[in-house]
Amino acid sequence: MATHASVAVRNSLVGEGRWEVDGDRYELGPGDAIAFDSRLPHTILNDGDQVARAVWLVVSE
């Protein structure tokens, strides 16, 4: 799990991924997005057979 002082936004383009943020799980596929306070513990896993590609935006405080 990672933490850092910023806000993270991820928009999935291709593939699937599973996010865990502060103990909650989110399944993301193409077209899905997530935004969260990255001071919370978080990680991402690619459970699929395909490479996952996404656009990230990380904004520091």
Does the pTM of the predicted model rise above 0.95?
Answer: no
Q: Total domain count for the chain?
A: 1
Instruction: Tell me, yes or no, whether 1 lies in a domain.
Output: no
Find, among 41, 39, 43, 45, the residue nearest to 59 by Cα.
Answer: 39
Q: Is residue 35 part of a domain?
A: yes
- In-domain check, residue 47: yes
- Supply the range of the domain harboring residue 28: 6-60
Digit-coded pLDDT (tens) for 1-58: 877 788 888 888 898 889 999 999 999 989 999 999 989 999 989 877 889 888 888 8
- Residue 53 in any domain: the answer is yes
d(CA 1, CA 32): 21
Q: If you search the block for the tokens 């799990």, which residue do you land on?
A: 1
- Residue 41 in any domain: the answer is yes
CATH of the domain at 17: 2.60.120.10
Query: Which amino acid is residue 46, in one-letter code?
Result: N
